[in-house]
Homo-oligomer: A and B are copies of this chain.
Amino acid sequence: MPQQDRAYATREAILHAAAEKFDRLGYERTSLTAVLARAGLTKGAFYFHFPSKEAVADALVERQSELWTRLRESWRLRGLDPLSTLHGMFTESADRIAADVVLRAGVRLNADREVGYPGVPSSHVLWEKLVATYVAEAGERGHLRAGADPEAVARTLCSAALGSRLISSATTACTDFPARIREVLAHVLPCVAAPEWKLSGSQTGSEGP
C-alpha cells in the first residue's frame, strides 16, 4: 500500500483503538499505553500522528461534530415536515451511535468535557435551541397541540435522548439505543403534535428511508 494510504490506515487504527477505550472508560481512565496496546503500535508510530492523548480526543470530538452538520443537511434535503425531520434525525443519530464506536466515543468525550467546567457554553443548550427551532416551525405549520411550548418540548426530547444514550451505554454498550430513542419519540411526539400530524418518511425501523 502506498505510504500515504498506510499513514491514513495507521491514523484510523489509532482513532479506532482510542475510541474503544474512551467509549468504555472515559478520557481520564484511558491511558495512552492501553491505546497503543489495543492498536498494536509503538509510541513512535503514535507520535507521528498525534502529539498527545488529548489530540486524539480532539480528533474524535471534531469528527462527531462534523457528522451532525452533514446529518442535518441531509434531512433538510428530504423536505419532510419539521416533526418528521426531528424524528428522522434523532433515530438516525441513535442508529449511527449504536453502530460506530468512533462516533460513540466522540459523543461521550464531547459531553464529558462539559462536566466540571461551569461557564463553558454547553452543547446541551445549543442542541436544545436547535431542536426548539424545528418544534417552533412545526407550530407555525399548525402541527402542534394548542399550548405546546417548543422550548419545553426541546428540553424534554434532548434530556430523554441524553439519558437514553447514557443508560444504553452503561447497560448494553448502546446496542438498544436505537430502540430506546424510538420509544422516547413515541411517548413524547403524540403528546405534543396536533392530532392530524402524521410521521412522514419511514423511520420506524432501524434503517433510514
Contacts and interface: CB of A to CB of B under 8 A. Distances in A.
Contacts of A25: 116
Contact of A155 (B152, B158, B162, B183): B183
A204 to B, nearest CB: 14
Copies in the complex: 2
A187 B191 contact: yes
A160 B171 contact: no
A12 interface: no
Interface of A is mostly: helix
A180 B155 contact: yes
A166 B170 contact: no
Range of interface residues on A (Cβ < 8 Å): 35 or more
A60 interface: no
Nearest to A173: B118
A164 interface: yes
Interface in A149-175: 152-153, 155-156, 158-164, 166-167, 169-171, 173
A167 B24 contact: no
5 contacts: A115-B169, A152-B183, A155-B167, A162-B163, A188-B191
Interface of A: 24-26, 28-29, 114-116, 118, 122, 124-125, 128, 152-153, 155-156, 158-164, 166-167, 169-171, 173, 180, 183-184, 186-188, 190-192
